[in-house]
Copies of this chain bind each other. A is one copy, B any other.
């Protein structure tokens, strides 16, 4: 693996970042966890737990918050320290720029591409992917065995992991007088923005009459269900196994924890947080934290938990 030095790192630093030690000694060739690093590693310090083991740390370059610098300074196994407000972000940025190979564009010969699909030539389409009459933007990556139906638009720089299904029919039916079942039409599409990431085996249904919309920078984890006509706005995170019901609107910067279920037609406000495994049966205002089943605002959730615990006191 290639070694990186001060020149490589310097262009990624912010003005407030500070190098402690001899910047010419920056010379790493791998990313590592602080407990498994060696003299050629770049590491980052997450919290105080690392400081308890500080004497055992060996690393070429350490990224840490300024508050931890004193504890790290002078340790024999550490060559250079870079202080920064958000070491995780800087570590991620260095990884992205120096360690992650750019996508090799191309369509794998085993992929099926509809003759009228529009695939940007800078994108990557993996083995056994199926793409219907849809669009794929610049630098977008679609991993093996994903299925994109007709009528899907995917933006630039988006990553779609294996087994993802986008554009399947939503779950909509009507019963006739004789109790027979009519399938409600699903003639809408799916619009996926730029820099979205979609985890393995996640499913995003097409809209019934309008579109299902995932805006830029939304990050969706594995095994998530996004029903028809859902609209998820910028920068929101939807974690594993979540179930987002039909026509739900999720505002910007929301955080939907793992295994959450959100009933259809509800609105989740911008900057809202929904706690793990919550069952959301009411709309949630902006900036609030909700938890529980049925979900309530966090302070009420905590009061309920306390009240139930108190029942057990003698």
Contacts and interface: CB of A to CB of B under 8 A. Distances in A.
Interface of A: 14, 31-33, 36, 85-86, 88-89, 91-93, 95-96, 99-100, 108, 110, 112, 126-128, 130, 143-147, 149, 159, 161-163, 165, 168-169, 171, 173-177, 179-185, 187, 195, 197, 199-201, 203, 205, 209-210, 217, 219, 221-223, 225, 227, 235, 237, 239-241, 243, 245, 253, 258-259, 261, 263, 276-277, 279, 281, 293-294, 300, 303-305, 307-308, 311-312
Nearest to A312: B303
A114 B269 CA distance: 45
A89 B182 contact: yes
Give the residue among A36, A259, A279 with the most B Cβ atoms within 10 A: A259
Contact of A221 (B100, B171, B185, B217): B171
A150 to B, nearest CB: 11
A44 B121 CA distance: 42
A294 to B, nearest CB: 8
A86 B199 contact: no
B243 A243 contact: no
Contacts of A201: 163, 165, 201, 203, 223
A96 to B, nearest CB: 6
Nearest to A209: B33
Copies of this chain per assembly? 3
A250 to B, nearest CB: 16
Contacts of A303: 312
Given A95-B187, A126-B130, 20 more contacts: A89-B177, A112-B128, A130-B145, A144-B147, A162-B168, A165-B200, A168-B199, A168-B200, A183-B197, A199-B203, A201-B201, A201-B223, A203-B223, A223-B225, A223-B243, A243-B258, A261-B277, A277-B279, A308-B308, A308-B311
Contacts of A311: 304, 307-308, 311
Contacts of A96: 182-183, 185
Contacts of A165: 145, 161-163, 200-201, 222
Contact of A163 (B14, B163, B304): B163
Nearest to A34: B209
Contacts of A14: 177
A145 B143 contact: no
A259 B295 CA distance: 15
Contacts of A171: 199, 219, 221-222, 239-240
A209 B143 contact: no
A112 B199 CA distance: 21
Given A112-B127, A185-B96, A235-B181, A36 B210 contact: yes
